[in-house]
C-alpha cells in the first residue's frame, strides 16, 4: 500500500527519528533538530520506544544503521530496547573528511574540520574509531548483511528490525557493484543500492516463509536537502524540502507491505504519520502503550484498507526546534504561522557534492488547500477566515 499523505513532525534527522520511535511529537520528548558530536543530550531513558514496546511481547529487536538519538553510551540503542546494534551514531556529514568542505570559506571549513573522527559502533563498543570514505562505500552492504543475518537468527521467533540507512544522506558513497549503474549519477547509484538492500531484506523474509507474518514499512525522516542539487532528491511537486514545515520537508513517500493483510497495489490518501507507527504496532501485537501521553494514532483501519476508514488526526502539528509551532493542518487544510525559513529562492542548487547556501525567507499567516494544492502555492487565508480561526484555536 502506498501512503500519499504521510507526515513527519519535524523535517530534520534527530527530531524526526525521536518522533518515530516514541510515537510523540519531538518537542514533547525534548529532541530538537539534529544532534551533533558536541551534543550532550540524547533520547531520555524515561521515553518508551517502539523497540521496548516489542520487547514487552518477547520480540527480538535490532537496529542497523544511523542512530542519531545521542552518541553517549547511555543514549545508544541497547539502552532503548534493542538487543543488537551496528552503525553510525549520527549523520555521516558530521565528519572532518567530508569532500565538500574543501570548497567552503576558510572559517566554515575550519569549523567542519573541528568535528571528531566518525566512529562505527557495534553494541555499545566503538569497533572502528575513524571511518573513511572507503569505509562509507561499504556501509549499505554491511547494514544489509547484518539485517539478513538477524532475520536468519530470529526466524523462529517474533522480531522487530529497524534499518535506518546512512545513505542517501550526503556525502554520498556507493559500492563498486553499483558505481555508474544508474542514469542519475552518484545519487542514482546510491538509490539503486538502497533499493537492492530493501530487496535483500524482503528476499530473506520470503526465503524463511515469513511474508504473511511480517509487516514491512518503508519511509524517511525528512524531505530532500535541496541545497545539494544533484546529490539530493526532489520533492516535486511539493514546496521546499528538508528543514522546513512545507510539505516538501515533511510529507514522506511511504510504503507498507503485509501479504494477506494489506491489500497489494492499493493507495491510501488519508493523513497519517510516523508517530502513528508505535501505537499501530502496539495494537497489532497486543502490547501496552506507554503510561504517559503519546500523540500518534492506531492506523490499522487505513493500513488494511477498511472501507470508509479516515484519519484519526483531527489536527497535525509541525514544530521547529524547541517547540516553535510553524504550521498546523487537518485532513484538507494547512495553516502556516508567520516564520522565517531557509530556501534557495530560485538560485541554482549545488553540484558535485557541494551545497548552495540557503537564504532566509519569510512567510506570513498562510492557508493552503492540500487536496487541490499540495504544492502550497496559493494562499487562501483571506477567502476562508473561518478555517484560519478554527486551526488557530
CA-based torsion, 324, 81, 272, 222: positive or negative: positive
pTM (global) more than 0.95: yes
Q: Give which of 337, 340, 390, 386 is closest to 365, Cα–Cα.
A: 337
Angle between the N-to-C axes of helices 13-22 and 277-285, in degrees from 0 to 180, rounded to the nearest 10: 20
pLDDT at 345: 86
> What was the pLDDT predicted at 100?
76
The owner of cell 542497523 is: 64
Which domains does the chain possess?
2-310 (3.40.720.10)
**Structure confidence at residue 303 (pLDDT):** 98
Question: Tens digit of pLDDT for each residue in 52-90?
Answer: 999 999 999 999 999 999 999 999 999 999 999 999 999
Which segments within 89-192 are labelled E, that is strand?
120-122, 125-128, 159-162
**Inter-CA distances, 260 with 154, 214, 218, 264, 268, Å:** 21, 10, 18, 9, 17
What is the average pLDDT across 373-383? 99
CB burial of residue 222 (10 Å; 0-12, 13-18, 19+): buried
Q: Find out whether 256 and 217 touch, Cβ atoms under 8 Å.
A: yes
pLDDT of residue 152: 99
The whole-angstrom separation of Cα 386 and Cα 393 is 11
Of 13, 24, 54, 268, the active-site residue reads 13
250 is catalytic: no
> Which residue is catalytic, options 26, 68, 71, 98?
68
Q: Which residues of 275-288 are buried (b: 16+ CB within 10 A; e: fewer)?
A: bbbbbbbbeebebe
Rounded CA separation 26/12 (Å): 10
Rg (C-alpha) for the chain, rounded Å, is: 21
What the block records as the C-alpha cell of 225 is 536537502
Does residue 268 have an active-site annotation?
no
pLDDT tens for residues 166-191? 999 999 999 999 999 999 999 999 99
Amino acid at each position: 500500500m502506498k501512503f500519499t499523505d504521510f507526515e513527519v513532525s519535524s523535517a530534520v534527522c534527530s527530531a524526526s527519528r525521536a518522533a518515530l520511535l516514541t510515537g510523540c511529537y519531538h518537542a514533547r520528548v525534548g529532541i530538537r533538530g539534529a544532534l551533533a558530536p558536541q551534543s550532550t543530550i540524547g533520547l531520555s531513558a524515561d521515553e518508551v520506544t517502539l523497540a521496548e514496546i516489542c520487547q514487552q511481547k518477547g520480540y527480538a529487536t535490532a537496529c542497523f544503521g544511523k542512530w542519531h538519538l545521542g552518541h553517549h553510551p547511555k543514549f545508544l540503542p541497547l539502552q532503548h530496547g534493542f538487543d543488537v546494534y551496528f552503525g553510525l551514531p549520527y549523520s555521516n556529514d558530521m565528519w572532518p573528511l567530508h569532500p565538500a568542505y574543501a570548497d567552503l570559506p576558510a572559517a566554515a571549513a575550519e569549523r567542519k574540520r573541528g568535528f571528531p573522527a566518525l566512529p562505527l559502533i557495534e553494541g555499545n563498543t566503538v569497533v572502528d574509531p575513524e571511518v573513511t570514505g572507503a569505509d562509507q562505500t561499504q556501509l549499505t552492504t554491511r547494514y544489509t548483511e547484518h539485517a539478513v543475518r538477524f532475520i536468519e537468527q530470529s526466524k523462529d521467533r517474533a522480531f522487530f528490525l529497524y534499518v535506518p540507512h546512512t545513505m542517501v544522506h550526503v556525502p554520498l558513497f556507493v559500492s563498486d557493484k553499483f558505481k555508474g549503474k544508474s542514469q542519475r549519477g552518484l545519487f542514482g547509484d546510491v538509490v539503486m543500492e538502497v533499493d537492492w538492500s530493501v530487496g535483500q531484506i524482503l528476499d530473506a523474509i520470503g526465503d524463511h516463509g515469513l511474508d504473511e507474518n511480517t509487516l514491512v514499512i518503508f519511509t524517511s525522516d525528512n524531505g530532500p536537502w535541496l541545497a545539494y542539487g544533484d546529490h539530493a532528491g526532489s520533492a516535486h511537486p511539493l514546496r521546499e524540502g528538508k528543514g522546513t514545515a512545507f510539505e516538501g520537508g515533511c510529507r514522506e513517500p511511504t510504503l507498507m507491505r503485509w501479504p494477506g493483510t494489506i491489500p497489494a497495489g492499493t493507495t491510501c490518501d488519508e493523513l497519517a504519520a510516523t508517530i502513528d507507527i508505535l501505537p499501530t504496532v502496539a495494537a497489532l501485537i497486543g502490547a501496552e502503550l506507554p503510561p504517559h501521553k503519546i500523540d500518534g494514532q492506531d492506523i490499522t483501519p487505513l493500513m488494511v484498507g477498511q472501507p470508509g476508514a479516515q484519519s484519526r488526526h483531527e489536527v497535525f502539528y509541525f514544530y521547529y526546534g524547541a517547540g516553535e509551532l510553524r504550521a498546523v493542518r487537518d485532513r484538507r487544510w494547512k495553516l502556516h504561522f508567520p516564520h522565517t525559513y531557509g530556501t534557495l529562492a530560485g538560485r541554482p542548487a549545488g553540484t558535485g557534492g557541494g551545497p548552495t547556501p540557503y537564504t532566509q525567507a519569510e512567510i506570513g499567516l498562510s492557508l493552503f488547500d492540500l487536496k487541490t494544492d499540495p504544492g502550497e502555492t496559493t494562499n487562501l487565508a483571506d477567502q476562508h477566515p473561518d478555517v484560519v480561526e478554527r486551526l488557530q484555536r
